[in-house]
């Protein structure tokens, strides 16, 4: 299956800085790909090239098999781009704003009202449809723009910092929408420098730093590559000095951090090793109340592979 988005050896230079340097990755349908990196890492530049707004110095970008440099207009049929802090026409109503871009996307006139109504329902702005866009709250504007991005049913969504400035409730809504889009077979490229935001809905990640993509792939795969072994967390009923002693001598155990009655570490080998370790802890009389594989944490991951300049 051909990937929906293929970026190959992409490089983008400004007059005095290389913003994106030799970046290659691909995204398949149904993937929500999180682009992680500190401010200035080159995420926005990369997204603007994909959205045909910037010509790269070198390399290629293909969306649904179409080269965005050679056939930008055809490629744009498949791309929905939502920039960071999207500006809107404050003196158009919500419906007029969407109608403008429905028309610009080439949707036939008869279908526009129905399509706009569906999307307003989806982003829960139906009641606001005749209100001026300038009167919407920040979160509503963000949802309005998301609706605009989805108007032409793009195969690839490029969302640059979509949750910045949103309240927790709006973030949950956004997360659900993005997750649904992924499940509906769209490919979503979403960037953020706030990692907790991405952790909930990304299936794959790419880590950018100083213009380079320093890691890319499914979260588990990246985590395994960066820090091999099963991440495990153990919690005792009460702190016990023997915990550090037992774990410290266990073969194949690494990255051990003991904090009172809690320990986190990575365990090499098959899952049976984890079962043997748990049995050993119990046999030695340690009051184990929790022993479980720890969820991959994007923040830990990022800090492992970057120099830690993340928000």
Using CB under 8 A as the binding rule, whether residue 156 contacts another protein is answered as: no
What lies within 8 Å, CB to CB, of 21 at 6+ separation is 11, 42, 210, 211, 212
CB of 112 to another protein, least distance (A): 9
Binding window for another protein (CB under 8 A); candidates: 135-143, 146-154, 247-255, 267-275: 146-154
Using CB under 8 A as the binding rule, whether residue 295 contacts another protein is answered as: no
Using CB under 8 A as the binding rule, whether residue 19 contacts another protein is answered as: no
| Among the listed residues 104, 193, 139, 119, the one whose alpha carbon sits nearest the alpha carbon of residue 205 | 193
The binder of another protein chosen from 141, 152, 186, 193 (CB under 8 A): 152
How crowded is residue 53: how many other Cβ atoms within 10 Å of its Cβ? 13
- Residues in contact with another protein, counted by CB under 8 A, come to a total of 44
Nearer to another protein, 96 or 233 (CB): 96
Using CB under 8 A as the binding rule, whether residue 180 contacts another protein is answered as: no
Binding window for another protein (CB under 8 A); candidates: 12-20, 29-37, 201-209, 241-249: 12-20
CB of 13 to another protein, least distance (A): 6
Using CB under 8 A as the binding rule, whether residue 191 contacts another protein is answered as: no
- Please tell me whether residue 69 adopts helix, strand or coil conformation: coil
Dihedral (CA of 156, 160, 166, 168) sign: positive
The binder of another protein chosen from 28, 30, 40, 105 (CB under 8 A): 105
CA distances to 218, 241, 309 from 184, in Å: 19, 51, 34
For residue 88, give both structure tokens. 């809107």
Give first-to-last CA distance, the chain, whole Å: 36
Residue 217, strand partner residues: 205
H-helix or E-strand spanning residue 234: strand 230-236
By CB under 8 A, name the binding residues for another protein: 9, 13-16, 51-58, 60, 73-74, 76-77, 79, 81, 83, 86-89, 91-92, 96-97, 100-101, 103-109, 111, 114-115, 148, 152-153
């Amino acid at each position: 299956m051909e990937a929906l988005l293929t970026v190959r050896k992409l490089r983008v230079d400004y007059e005095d800085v290389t913003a994106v340097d030799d970046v290659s990755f691909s995204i398949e349908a149904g993937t929500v790909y999180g682009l992680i990196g500190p401010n200035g890492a080159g995420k926005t530049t990369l997204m603007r090239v994909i959205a045909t707004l910037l010509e790269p110095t070198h390399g290629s970008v293909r969306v649904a098999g179409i080269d965005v440099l050679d056939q930008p207009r055809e490629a744009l049929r498949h791309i929905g781009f939502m920039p960071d802090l999207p500006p809107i026409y404050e003196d158009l109503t919500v419906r007029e704003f969407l109608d403008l871009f429905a028309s610009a996307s080439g949707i036939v006139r008869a279908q526009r009202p129905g399509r706009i109504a569906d999307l307003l329902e989806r982003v829960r702005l139906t009641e606001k449809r005749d209100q001026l866009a300038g009167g919407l709250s920040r979160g509503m504007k963000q949802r309005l723009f998301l609706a605009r991005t989805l108007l032409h049913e793009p195969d690839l969504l490029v969302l640059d910092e979509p949750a910045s400035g949103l309240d927790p409730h709006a973030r949950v809504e956004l997360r659900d929408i993005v997750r649904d889009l992924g499940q509906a077979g769209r490919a979503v490229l979403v960037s953020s420098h706030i990692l907790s935001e991405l952790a909930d809905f990304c299936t794959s990640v790419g880590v950018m730093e100083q213009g380079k993509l320093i890691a890319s792939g499914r979260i588990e795969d990246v985590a395994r590559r960066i820090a091999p072994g099963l991440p495990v967390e153990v919690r005792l009923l009460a702190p016990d000095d023997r915990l550090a002693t037992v774990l410290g001598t266990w073969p194949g155990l690494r990255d051990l951090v003991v904090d009172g009655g809690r320990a986190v570490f990575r365990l090499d080998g098959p899952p049976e090793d984890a079962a043997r370790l748990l049995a050993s802890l119990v046999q030695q009389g340690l009051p184990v109340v929790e022993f479980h594989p720890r969820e991959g944490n994007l923040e830990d991951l990022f800090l492992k592979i970057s120099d830690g300049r993340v928000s």
